[in-house]
């Protein structure tokens, strides 16, 4: 969604990873885009992806996004999985207060909301979280850079091991309720976290095949990705995934 303006820090790279991992397994993959003013039935997709953007970009798309609220709700009800990064994550909450103090009314699917950091302060740097996604327990690594401080998250994605998370000293990062995964982890997220990529693929496949499990995916060689993760764990003195 809004691929042309919501691509902060290369977020669309997440879709390239999903495409490659599906094609390596012979899983049909078709990438489509939805920009401002385009007519699309979002409930017809297995996965919706919404990346990050600055205040200017978020303000420009809000009218179009709000006009799709009913269709997005229908998609979620019909088991379309939703992956949200940074600005996309914020847009599914109640509201977002921009750096200039203006209050942006968002979709309001969830009770969390996002305020602006005091005096332009931002959460910036590498981040590691301990995440629980259904039966998958894993550590997620990424990069965060957000002035928005998200509070009121009832179902956080994971516990912060290194970095800030939803807000300064929050102790928790992101949101996950089985239907929607929202996070501030840029980088992009999925090249650094192959298990999360496979989790997202599994959730998307479950729309048409509810019995499909992550263990049903053909294993891929993630030696390089895992070596990079272990290097970060070592740097931050964090025990890696077992």
Domain map of the chain by residue range? Answer: 8-235
Report whether 50 contacts 81 (CB < 8 A): no
Q: Does the pLDDT at position 233 exceed 80?
A: yes
Residue 188: which pLDDT band, with cuts at 50, 70 and 90?
Answer: confident
Question: What positions carry a catalytic annotation?
Answer: 86, 186
Q: Does the pLDDT at position 53 exceed 90?
A: no
Mean per-residue pLDDT for 153-178?
Answer: 95
**Annotated binding residues for substrate:** 122
Does 165 or 102 have the greater pLDDT score? Answer: 165
**Annotated binding residues:** 122
Q: Does the pLDDT at position 214 exceed 90?
A: yes
Query: 180-192 as b/e, with b when 16 or more CB fall inside 10 Å?
Result: bbbbbbbbbbbbb
To the nearest 10 degrees (0 to 180), the angle between helices 13-23 and 194-205 is 70
| Percentage with pLDDT > 70 across the chain | 100
Q: Report the topology of domain 8-235.
A: Rossmann fold (3.40.50)
Q: How far apart are CA 72 and CA 75, in angstroms?
A: 5
Q: How far apart are CA 108 and CA 197, in angstroms?
A: 27
What are the beta bridge partners of residue 47? 81
The two beta strands, 136-146 and 123-133, are antiparallel
Neighbouring C-beta atoms of residue 220, cutoff 10 Å: 14
Report whether 36 contacts 59 (CB < 8 A): no
Mean per-residue pLDDT for 179-199?
Answer: 95
Of residues 227, 219, 223, 224, the one with CA closest to residue 201: 219
């Amino acid at each position: 969604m809004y691929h042309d303006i919501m691509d902060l820090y290369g977020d669309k790279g997440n879709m390239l990873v999903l495409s490659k991992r599906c094609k390596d397994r012979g899983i049909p993959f078709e990438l489509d885009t939805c920009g401002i003013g385009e007519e699309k039935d979002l409930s017809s997709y297995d996965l919706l992806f919404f990346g990050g953007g600055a205040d200017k970009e978020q303000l420009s798309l809000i009218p179009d996004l709000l006009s799709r609220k009913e269709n997005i709700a229908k998609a979620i009800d019909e088991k379309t999985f939703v992956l949200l990064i940074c600005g996309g994550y914020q847009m599914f909450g109640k509201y977002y207060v921009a750096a200039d103090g203006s209050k942006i009314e968002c979709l309001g699917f969830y009770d969390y909301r996002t305020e602006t950091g005091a005096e332009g302060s931002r959460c910036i740097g590498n981040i590691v979280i301990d995440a629980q996604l259904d039966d998958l327990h894993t550590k997620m690594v990424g990069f965060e850079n957000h002035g928005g401080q998200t509070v009121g998250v009832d179902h956080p994605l994971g516990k912060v091991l290194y970095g800030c998370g939803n807000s300064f000293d929050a102790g928790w990062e992101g949101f996950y309720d089985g239907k929607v995964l929202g996070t501030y982890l840029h980088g992009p997220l999925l090249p650094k976290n192959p298990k999360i990529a496979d989790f997202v693929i599994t959730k998307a496949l479950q729309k048409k095949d509810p019995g499909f499990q992550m263990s049903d995916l053909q294993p891929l060689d993630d030696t390089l990705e895992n070596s990079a993760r272990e290097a970060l764990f070592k740097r931050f003195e964090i025990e890696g995934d077992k």
